[in-house]
Amino acid sequence: MAAMEMSEVKKEKFSDDSPKYDHVKKPFWRRYIDSFKPMEESHGPVSGNYKPGDSEKEPLPGGHGPELKRTLKNRHIQMIAFGGAIGTGLFIGSGGVLANGGPASLLIGFILIGTMLFNVVMALGELAVLYPIAGSFSIYSSRFIDPAWGFAMGWNYALQWLVVLPLELTAAAITIKYWTKDIDVGVWITVFLLIVIFINFFGVKGYGEAEFVFSMIKILAVCGFIVLGIVIDVGGGPAQRETHEYLGAKTWSNPGAFNNGFQGFCAVFVTAAFAFGGTEMVGLAAAESENPRKSLPKATKQVFWRISIFYIVTLLLVGLIVPYNHPRLLGSHFDQANNADSDKSAAAPQNKTVEAPSGHDATASPFVIAIDIAGIKILPSIFNGVILVSVMSVGNSAVYGSSRTLCAMARTGQAPRFLGYIDREGRPLFAIILALVLGGLAYISESASSDLVFGWLLAISGLSTIFTWMSICWAHLRFRRAWRVQGHTLDELPFRAAFGVIGSWWGVIFNVLILLAQFYVAVKPIGETATAESFFNAYLAAPIVLVFYIFWKLLKKTPFMVAGKGNPDGFFKTETIDLVTGRRELDLDRILAKERAAHANLPAWRRFYHSLCG
């Protein structure tokens, strides 16, 4: 009897009508095509999904609908945070900062940005663990600050990554011409675009695996450069051994530690922010993580090590080896055309028909220049390959960041509805397609007006990261106040930012100072006369954010609320902010009590290390 019942169960389980049976029997190509069909509706709270109402009193995630798949593992999250943003900003963009500000400005600027960013990521981690929602940056702004500001932040962040993809595709095509000079740049743009398409159409797991590999390569390259940089600085390079030259800190005295005074120092911050840009991507990944409560705190704390080792140590070594007046650095006032050594540079394309977008010329990489100064012949080619990997990594992240943000905004009524489509594999399909289509702007590099177009594309994304980071800290401050006002305690939070509201205040204030510093550089550019064009090239993102904010206010006819007697908080009142919808329901009392008891038994130095580093 039992055997008959079991047989019936098996028959029912694997009957022709069973989805599992169909999935097994269908060929791979059929299953892949079916994966693009709409995902079935879920029956519980969904990350980043809510139905917009007639008013904006509740711009909160919730409702019902298909959700992004939670397939990112802990190792993916770790690598996204640890090496995801190591790219052209560090390898190439730092050269322009070195030329404009000198090695001391470079080092101080990156340290200040690093301390601020650590607090940004900590604040983001606290919010993302409690509310792991897709498109989290804009959703948090809509939820805790003001829907109009969330709308502006969402489009600000989406535009940032939408314009980065064509820039990175062009940069990759130019970089590869170091090895192949005869093939047209448009061919390589097509090749790299197809690679990005291939990665992103395998869903979030494809993105996670690709970033895992890319980040490993970049981390190994940076660690290798640290060792090499120390050897070069103490005179161990082939060129130094012939001349018995010890570099030490000579570049800090000749030509000097600073360049262009306070103006040069102010010029550091936006480039430094661009170099660190993408670190916040771990917040987007929260919605697709298997266990955000475990993986996100570790990932956010790893930022401390990335800042300390990958940026500060490497840039210190670069500043000790490469003088700020080196003629190959971007921003140098020397005539690069007369530099006889320029032909030795990695990625120096010959007979090319197009120049790389501004700030993406691997010829100007201070890392490559440092290797050339040492007289090492093979490593420039290898490091050029690392730069190529970095460019592809940033391009891959651009599709991920823009598509998830657009999808979340579409599902909150802040973007066209079709962009909220999620297929059976959890891919925001039409948002991905839009990002990839706009990647085709890279083919503009074949036209005579490419420099002008790419210049404006760079201007759109220039300050976007600053606004994003400021809004994350601002949303965290508003959340903490609402949490306290509504009777909650910090012990209820599954993860707390290391420096709490003090860290977020530092993030808000410092980002405002960066905006002021960039405004100063925009009205008084280094080495040129200020014009309307130069101003908007440096500050275009600010009016774009303002236009989006005012547009949503006028469209929804909501008041431009500011702090005052009737509403001391400004924007949303902290007493009425919804802290329940979309919050992860966890058995926190038991779990956190056990974890905190174990933490309290650790030695003081280990408690400090665990709080900051993992």
Task: Give Cα separations from 313 to 116, 223, 240, 252, 318 (angstroms).
Answer: 18, 10, 22, 16, 9
Residue 599: pLDDT band (50, 70, 90) is low
- CATH class (in words) of the domain with range 70-333+365-583: mainly alpha
Q: What is the pLDDT of residue 327?
A: 85
Alpha-carbon distance of 161 to 154, in angstroms, equals 11
Q: What is the pLDDT of residue 503?
A: 94
Residue bearing the bigger pLDDT, 532 or 483: 483
- Mean local confidence (pLDDT), 500-507: 94
> Please, which residues have CB within 8 angstroms of residue 441's CB and are 6 or more apart in sequence?
163, 166, 453, 457
Q: Tens of pLDDT along 537-588?
A: 888 889 999 999 999 988 887 776 654 444 555 566 777 888 887 776 555 5
Q: Tens of pLDDT along 443-459?
A: 887 776 667 777 777 77
- Mean local confidence (pLDDT), 111-121: 89
CB atoms within 10 A of CB 315: 23
Q: Which of 32-36, 215-219, 530-534 has the lowest mean pLDDT?
A: 32-36
Domain boundaries, the chain: 70-333+365-583, 589-614
Residue 324 near residue 102, CB atoms below 8 Å: yes
Residue 365 near residue 390, CB atoms below 8 Å: no
Alpha-carbon distance of 118 to 125, in angstroms, equals 10
Residue 61 pLDDT > 60, yes or no? no
Q: What is the pLDDT of residue 151?
A: 93
Q: Tens of pLDDT along 581-596?
A: 777 655 555 555 666 6
**Omega within 30 of 0 (cis) for the link into 255:** yes
Residue 475: pLDDT band (50, 70, 90) is very high
Residue 91 pLDDT > 80, yes or no? yes
Q: What is the pLDDT of residue 20?
A: 44
Residue 434: pLDDT band (50, 70, 90) is very high
Q: What is the pLDDT of residue 508?
A: 95
Q: What is the pLDDT of residue 351?
A: 34
Residue 98 pLDDT > 80, yes or no? yes
Residue 129 pLDDT > 50, yes or no? yes
- Report which residue type is found at 475: A
Largest interatomic CA distance in the chain: 92
Range ranked top by mean pLDDT from 115-129, 266-280, 573-587: 115-129
Phi-psi group of 133: left, alpha or beta (phi > 0 → left; psi -120 to 50 → alpha; rest → beta) = beta
- Mean local confidence (pLDDT), 316-341: 67
- Mean local confidence (pLDDT), 120-145: 84
Q: Tens of pLDDT along 286-322?
A: 666 666 666 677 777 777 777 777 788 999 999 999 9
Q: Which of 180-189, 250-259, 308-317, 572-581 has the lowest mean pLDDT?
A: 572-581
Task: Give Cα separations from 149 to 51, 285, 590 (angstroms).
Answer: 19, 22, 37
> Please, which residues have CB within 8 angstroms of residue 336's CB and are 6 or more apart in sequence?
327, 328, 342
- Mean local confidence (pLDDT), 316-345: 63
Q: What is the pLDDT of residue 289?
A: 67
Q: Tens of pLDDT along 32-59?
A: 666 666 666 544 433 333 333 333 333 3
Rg (C-alpha) for the chain, rounded Å, is 25
**Omega within 30 of 0 (cis) for the link into 525:** no
> Please, which residues have CB within 8 angstroms of residue 236's CB and are 6 or more apart in sequence?
none
Residue 388 pLDDT > 70, yes or no? yes
Q: What is the pLDDT of residue 385?
A: 87
CB atoms within 10 A of CB 536: 16
End-to-end CA distance of the chain: 56
From 278, 283, 313, select the one nearest 300 (Cα to Cα).
Answer: 283
Residue 110 near residue 311, CB atoms below 8 Å: yes
Residue bearing the bigger pLDDT, 27 or 28: 27
Residue bearing the bigger pLDDT, 490 or 589: 490
Q: What is the pLDDT of residue 570?
A: 52
Q: Tens of pLDDT along 99-108?
A: 889 999 999 9
